[in-house]
Every structure is written in C-alpha cells, then in structure tokens.
Structure 1
C-alpha cells in the first residue's frame, strides 16, 4: 500500500492557485491604524505589490462611510520609508482592515 502525501492533478493546481491568490491579497495591502480621541480611526492603506504602490490616508468612524483625505502613488522604496516614519513618529500601528 502506497501512501500519497502530495496530491497531483487539477484539484491540486486549483488549491495552489487559490493559495497564491490569498497570499497576493495579503501582501498587496497593508493597513496602519491610529485611534482618534473621538473614537474614530485614522488609517493609512498601502495597496499594490508592484510599483507604483497606492497610498490612501483617511479617517473612519462607524457607521459612517470612510473618509479619504489623500491618495497618492509611490515607488516601493518611498512607500516603505513612509511606512516606517508613520510607525516610528506618528503613532500608527499595523492592524486588520477596517472595511
């Protein structure tokens, strides 16, 4: 009796494709959050795995719709530098998506 640890075939390819899609969606967005004194949340969302990286700055106080303050596109190095600055000096922390 042979035990197959690894599946092969169309079902396995489908599973791998699904995992790659999930991994890309996780990598393609990064949320930085900072609580506001009124109970809302300031957020910065970096979106996009390749260049350019979209950066959205906004505010959200449920049940209201999110408010986008600024939107810009950065190259990857600038986006990483901006993220570090926001975390170090502006009090933002990595968090789960707000919406």
Structure 2
C-alpha cells in the first residue's frame, strides 16, 4: 500500500512538482473540500477513510453517501481524509492502489 511519503517519493522520481498539504495542521474547509471534490475522479465517498476512527465516531456508510455529507464529515474530522490525494492540473485521484500514481503522473 502506498502511503503519503511514498507518493511524494514517486512525484520526486517523476520530476513532478507537488505541494504537500498538512491537512491535520491546516484542515481543508468546506470550500476547499468542495474544490477538491470538483477535481476528484473518484466517487466523493471514496475520499473518506473507513478506519477505526471512523467507527469510533459512530459513522456509517449512510453518513457519507452524498457529496454534501462527505464535505461535512471531512470538515469536522480531517483525520478521515483518505491519503494520499494527488492533484495535477484540474484532476485529482486518491493514490490507492499504488499503481494508480504512476499512471496518473504519466498522463
């Protein structure tokens, strides 16, 4: 599985400039999340991590079905933002599985 550090290394290897956003120190607000979703090629709900924290918060699939719900949940709980997210021009992908990163960068 590709983590955020590995994604940055791939960007460096491909000589692609990238901005790394520390979303925990500087969480994305609703407008920024909406802008990211505008670029995202994946379904909006895929941007939400379904991990132990998701369960601890008592969230279910019904809480992240719509774009608006995804924005609300991620604005309130930035730790649930799936990563890595790669943005190139007007497009964005979630870099999982890891083979998506190389194909995305090559385009």
Larger Rg: 1
**Structure (1/2) with the larger helix percentage:** 2
Q: Using structure 1 for the length normalisation, give the TM-score.
A: 0.26
Greater percentage in strand: 1
* TM-score (normalizing by structure 2): 0.24
